[in-house]
């Protein structure tokens, strides 16, 4: 499903495109880039969805992973086989994918990550630049990244499980505890600082989260609301 020129959503349980997280495709005019992949069972569906958009799955050159949770990265090994693409992820996420994604359900899920990131880099694909932002706080392990591109003068931010479209005090339809779990105050402050940094330095026009609805206008307002929710949660903890 096309979001704007060159950006598609090709996976996501909320859109009946796959069973897992939101998966995005970026058409650079040459290379195709994926942001997250979902679980192993999602990969074939995502390949079919790419083809349904009139694009060639064989043109996928890089799969960007936002963080190491299985519902976002569990299909990395299968995706490498089907798309013959490289993986890009935070160096912490890379360590987990390479070493800790051992055999699960008697299937090998570990995969080599060729592009190891830490935040602050920019990767160029033709006329498109992908900016990598270090945004810790969602995972206990670390390795959370957001990816930023500009399309037709609009900033587009892929946030994984860092920021979401909010409604009625919920983030992607869930309370904040769904995204931080049982964490201490310091960890939650780290998460809050990542949100504040995104608002201050990026202030995206379009916010494309790892779950739930998309914010296709004034995406920065959703980050503001996420900040308000997390701040309230911290006050309640205190």
Chain centroid to Cα 104, Å, comes to: 23
DSSP helix/strand/coil, 178:
helix
* Model confidence pLDDT, tens digit, residues 10-27: 999 999 999 999 999 999
Whole-number Å distance between alpha carbons of 6 and 194:
27
Burial group, residue 193, by CB count within 10 angstroms (0-12, 13-18, 19+): middle
Return the pLDDT at 60.
98
Indicate if the pLDDT at residue 134 is higher than 90: yes
Q: In the chain, what are the domains? A: 2-237 (3.60.15.10)
Return the pLDDT at 99.
84
The residues near 60 (Cβ < 8 Å, ≥ 6 apart) are 25, 31, 32, 33, 34, 50, 83, 85
Better-predicted residue by pLDDT, 111 or 232: 232
DSSP helix/strand/coil, 191:
helix
- With CA atoms as reference, report the closest residue to 142 among 178, 194, 217: 194
* Model confidence pLDDT, tens digit, residues 66-91: 999 999 999 999 999 999 999 999 99
Q: Which long-range contacts (CB under 8 A, 24 or more apart) does 15-19 make?
A: 17/45, 17/46, 17/49, 18/42, 18/45, 18/46, 18/49, 19/45
Task: Please report which confidence band the pLDDT of residue 105 belongs to, taking 50, 70 and 90 as the band edges.
Answer: low
DSSP helix/strand/coil, 193:
helix
DSSP per residue, 6-61 = TEEEEE-GGGTS-SSS-EEEEE-SS-EEEE---SGGGHHHHHHHHHHTT--GGGEE
Look at the block and give the residue holding tokens 């796959």.
Answer: 18
Least confident stretch, 46-50, 140-144, 158-162, 226-230: 140-144
Task: Please report which confidence band the pLDDT of residue 131 belongs to, taking 50, 70 and 90 as the band edges.
Answer: very high
User: What angle is formed at CA 152 by the lines to CA 147 and CA 154, rounded to 5 degrees?
Assistant: 50
What is residue 235's DSSP assignment?
Answer: H
Mean pLDDT of the chain: 94
| CB-based contact 220:203 (threshold 8 Å) | yes
Return the pLDDT at 104.
57
Measure the CA dihedral 151/147/72/194, to 10°: -130
């Amino acid at each position: 499903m096309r979001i704007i020129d060159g950006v598609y959503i090709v996976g996501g349980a909320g859109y009946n495109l796959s069973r897992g997280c939101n998966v995005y495709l970026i058409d650079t005019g040459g290379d195709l880039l994926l942001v997250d992949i979902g679980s192993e069972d999602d990969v074939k569906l995502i390949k079919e969805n790419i083809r349904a958009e009139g694009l060639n799955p064989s043109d996928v050159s890089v799969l960007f992973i936002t963080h190491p949770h299985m519902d976002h990265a569990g299909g990395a090994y299968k995706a490498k086989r089907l798309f013959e693409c490289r993986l890009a992820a935070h160096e912490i996420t890379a360590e987990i994918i390479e070493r800790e994604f051992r055999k699960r359900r008697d299937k090998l899920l570990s995969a080599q990550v060729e592009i190891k990131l830490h935040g602050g880099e920019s990767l160029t694909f033709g006329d498109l630049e992908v900016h990598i932002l270090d945004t810790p706080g969602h995972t206990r392990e670390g390795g959370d990244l957001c990816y930023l591109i500009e399309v037709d003068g609009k900033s587009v931010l892929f946030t994984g499980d860092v920021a979401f479209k909010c409604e009625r005090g919920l983030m992607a339809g869930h309370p904040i505890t769904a995204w931080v779990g049982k964490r201490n105050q310091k960890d939650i402050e780290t998460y809050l600082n990542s949100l504040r940094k995104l608002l201050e330095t990026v202030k995206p026009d379009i916010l494309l989260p790892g779950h739930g609805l998309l914010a296709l206008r004034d995406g920065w307002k959703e980050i503001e609301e996420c900040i308000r929710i997390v701040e309230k949660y911290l006050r309640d903890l205190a």
